Amino acid sequence: MEEGKNKFFVYVDTSYLTFMPSDEKADWNRLLEHSKACIADLNVEPRLEIHVSEIVLREYRGKMLDELSSKIEQAKVTMKRLRDEWYRNDIAKELNYPFPGDRDIFPQENEIIAAADRFVKKLSNFRLGFCM
């Protein structure tokens, strides 16, 4: 193959990953799969290289962790309010409904961090190089 012919380079920045419209996610996943195929087989055309810098991965990971933690905290506060109100309501007392504890419903912080690390590792597997 002639150098640069049928070869496309995609440089991804944090804002694209962070603000990607949901209707573009399927196309993004197809690009990732095509890039993966290009890594596995040098005859796949057109050649596609997706470059994601380490800083972009760290920023995206941090943003996703912050958003998830915030949503979990909001849900915990809402559940606590409901639980407090539940036990003040005479009809609810008759139902004898056991509320699950936070640990029963939400993942622990170490589980969330491990999931974030797996996700970043999966995404970094598509990188053919770093952009600085």
- The confidence score (pLDDT) of residue 97 equals 75
Q: What are 12's strand-pairing partners?
A: 52
Tokens of 100: 């699950």
pLDDT tens per residue, range 64-85: 999 999 999 999 999 889 888 8
- The confidence score (pLDDT) of residue 130 equals 37
% of the chain with per-residue pLDDT over 90: 23
Question: Does residue 13 or residue 42 have the better pLDDT?
Answer: 13
- The confidence score (pLDDT) of residue 5 equals 67
| CA neighbor of 59 nearest in space, from 24, 26, 108, 12 | 12
Which structural domain, as residue segments, surrounds residue 92? 7-124
Whether 131 is covered by a domain: the verdict is no
Whether 1 is covered by a domain: the verdict is no
Whether 129 is covered by a domain: the verdict is no
- The confidence score (pLDDT) of residue 98 equals 75
- The confidence score (pLDDT) of residue 18 equals 84
- The confidence score (pLDDT) of residue 59 equals 92
**pTM across the whole model:** 0.70
Burial bucket for residue 35 (CB in 10 Å: 0-12, 13-18, 19+): buried
Whether 86 is covered by a domain: the verdict is yes
pLDDT tens per residue, range 107-122: 999 999 999 999 888 8
- The confidence score (pLDDT) of residue 126 equals 58
pLDDT tens per residue, range 87-103: 888 898 888 777 776 66
Q: In angstroms, rounded to a whole number, what is the distance separating the alpha carbons of residues 26 and 78?
A: 33
Whether 2 is covered by a domain: the verdict is no
Whether 132 is covered by a domain: the verdict is no
Count the domains in the chain: 1
Whether 61 is covered by a domain: the verdict is yes
Whether 46 is covered by a domain: the verdict is yes
